[in-house]
Chain A
Amino acid sequence: MHELAIAQSIVEVVTTRARECQATHVKLVRLQIGEASGIMTDSLAFSFEMLTSLDPLLDGTQLLIESIPHVARCGACAQEFAIVNLVPLCPICQQWSGDVISGTELQIQEMEIETALSVMEE
């Protein structure tokens, strides 16, 4: 249920950057969310839509979420493997690994904006 707080943070970052860029509207926001970040992406998308509908600058902004797989490297065989159900157990050696390579990302990658200039060009 902390997705609302996460959505709020995204809206704050995007709004600040959009104002700096003198955007008239934010068309799209691209995120990277790790599988193991503890975020339910459906719930995040719902919260984001609710919050963005309150501000004309963001109303209708498309949210694209790239899900990053949870991957670890085995300390014994050095093989990279996909972590299943958050248990970092190497399928080959049956050893636990604390060396997580990806899957905990909570990143705003980029946005696409319209400015007075970009609308005039069209």
Chain B
Amino acid sequence: MPTKVTIAQHILAANEASAQELRQELGARGLATINVMSAPGAGKTTLLEQTIRRLHGQLAIAVIEGDIETSNDAERIEAAGAQTVQINTRGACHLEAHMIRSALEQLDVGQADLLVIENIGNLVCPATWDLGEDLRVVVVSTSEGDDKPAKYPQMFATAQVMIVNKLDLLPYVDYDLAKVKREALAINPQLHIFEVSCRTGAGLDTWCAWLCAFAHSALQERTR
């Protein structure tokens, strides 16, 4: 007769444990960490470029750039003035905590206040993996359908911030911004929402001021 063995364990327990250790390590190094996620093309990299430029002198930012292939995005981020490490997942659709830990070894984070992890462009898989971050940010844009929160609820349920990008395109697209906000808040009433255009700069000062305040309060929380 086979023997029954109870396991009763989350399938991703190893990642959860690794993420928890990473969270402590990042805290010990004095780094607030955010995980930025979106569908491909919503504007994560452009948002980061703009954020890094605007916060120059106020917040030192280091970036871990996740992409399936190429180092195009890392080159853009470096040019914007942040220290960057590229992770190429060679086909994998999300980042995992152990990848962040090895990328961190290549970063000189001594001077940095904020670590930004740009996840793989995908609204499904990254929602499942904890990367040891303090804040999860989901970016949507007006050139996508206005049903993203309804279609990918897990992503919006686990994020604390939603940024709606490409506001400048609103007159040209059938995007119901009120509906997106209503549905996202129905899934997650605590969600902070920012409306921006990385092209015109609209809304970016508000977002950057909020992020700066968040990073400083996250750091104070840890040194307490």
Which of A's residues lie within 8 Å of B, judged by CB? 1-2, 5-6, 9-10, 12-14, 17-18, 21, 27-28, 31, 36-38, 86-88, 96-98, 100, 104, 106-115, 118, 121-122
- Decide if B96 touches A88 in the complex (CB within 8 Å): no
Q: Is B178 located at the chain interface by the 8 A CB criterion?
A: no
Task: Please tell me if the beta carbons of A6 and B11 are within 8 angstroms of each other in the complex.
Answer: yes
Residue ID in chain A nearest B5 by CB atoms: A111
Which A residues lie within 8 Å of B124 (CB)?
2, 38
B96 to chain A, nearest CB (A): 7
Q: How many residues of B contact A (CB 8 A)?
A: 35
Report chain B residues within 8 Å CB of A114: 2-3
In the complex, chain B residues whose CB is within 8 Å of the CB of A14: 7
| A21, B12: Cβ atoms closer than 8 Å | no
Nearest-neighbour CB distance to chain A for B147, whole angstroms, equals: 9
Instruction: Give the CA-CA distance A115 to B9 in the complex, in Å.
Output: 22
Q: Report the minimum CB–CB distance from B29 to chain A (whole Å).
A: 27
Chain B residues lying within 8 Å of A31, measured Cβ to Cβ, are 11
Please state if B11 and A106 are interface contacts (CB–CB under 8 Å).
yes
The answer to whether B93 and A1 have CB atoms under 8 Å apart is yes
Instruction: Verify B14–A121 contact, CB threshold 8 A.
Output: no
